[in-house]
A and B are shown apart, each in its own frame.
Chain A
């Protein structure tokens, strides 16, 4: 059998296995996947209301926050789940056709699917509730999520491979990722910032993924300062590093 077919078979089996452990262990599993972003959005919608703020340009608050949080969460989850991929699946690496790369791929694909379903449910429910439904450019929303997942996945692969060499990676991951929550334009449109700050934030590839998602969702949303090319460059570099490191890590992997 061709190696690529074997790999597809393995990744599919791993997705089925991850579905069990990600959602199946307690009955609230599926619910939690939707509840977490909902809690984020509800909290910040409440904060906006308390301080008497409305979303910029009178965008509806729930889609405004959802288009920010959910690509960000997708990035955070894919990178974090990549980091812990080996630790959670060490036993399965005994099967020679299962490699660390497959573990990361399976987790990322499942995370993307989960994120899309959660986004569709949250936005869908809101649309039914508010009676308004318009997505300016659905394809661009998909691209925004895709870029967020791509950055998270390639970073996750680096972290996964690096975790073979040092436990330091796990300690550093949280403190390094957390500030991005405030600097990724989740609760403010970066287009409204002073030029100096906007330029600074534009170095963060997550900003591009978030703003592209928003521009895809809201008609007339100003996102001229972001583009696909810059995050794609990040993905290319991170993926190259990740794939290289995974090759090295695969040889150094100690199973028991």
Chain B
């Protein structure tokens, strides 16, 4: 079966983008606001101006880093089973992360999320088979902002089995986050050999590694915890307005990340990812649902593949504020483009409002989308040979396929069977079930799935340990106690 594949760039263009990216690292170089990284670069032979905090990286260093970066790796779930294979054109999905608000299921308007919201969200992700990994979806407003990053990882670890895409907002919260992951895995070595988490690390456009994210990048490499480069060129504002130009900037930023990472530890796993956008010339916003945003993403994924690296894309989101038609069409478009581009992990389901808001209902609807997209990408397969000749000669003109074992054998693989969120009833059937909108059906399904959640096998001892790590961090920032978790869990 020929694989379905979307490639927006021809080979010459891919090569030109890569060589321009490499040339940008030589001149004007990359800004690195991190002493350790500058030293690593200087020791490797880069021309480093410590005063200006700029490193000019010769092509040979970049090429060497690309040689040692692994082509693939696997994320494991908390039971120790492989769950997400960053490899080739395999695709997986995880929710958007770092949201500031959640859509209230009753008012259908955004509000600040609290501990109980994130717990519900984690449970919902566990229950949706289409979603392959957790994300540290949003920041809880009932803890001090300084521990916003590690607190969401803490909550997720209590309730999840799936692996998680996470990230740190500070230099000093990365370590407690690693401690938690290590505690769950049974030590640093176990975590390195069977990673359960990926840390997103974001260079700042254009061509800058901030102190914090650069340190996160180095720390990930040191402990062999996978790092995911999230380069965010904003085409027309902090990056060239041309789509190809934005991809060049993305390439340069990601290459610099690969270099710093591999100089820290050769062979540590790293992902070629991002969250680019065009700059909206009317609103001055960063539309994730814009067709050009998808195009930049598809193109950089192609570049990443040409470099032999595992890839990530941030799509499947909407800029709409409520769960409406815009929300659906933008999410579907982005998911299709990223999936057909073969991005190994596609982040963004459940997210809307310019990458700032999450919704249980959107997540449930997006899961159906992902089911359809995964089905599409699998393509049309030949199950029997001859395809239908023997079958149809035997069945003649009877038209009784519904009652044939052949149908029963294949229909679940041939057809993606959506949940009741997708309405395919007759008009009367829809009417008799209460004339519900997509949002209402999604809300009901979310409630049902969350209520049916089964606790993981996490021990009381481990829960205590994770809570102690979190509390220690909270105390550092003047918070003396953590919000209580629901009883009996």
Partners in one complex: no
A positions within 8 Å CB-CB of B: none
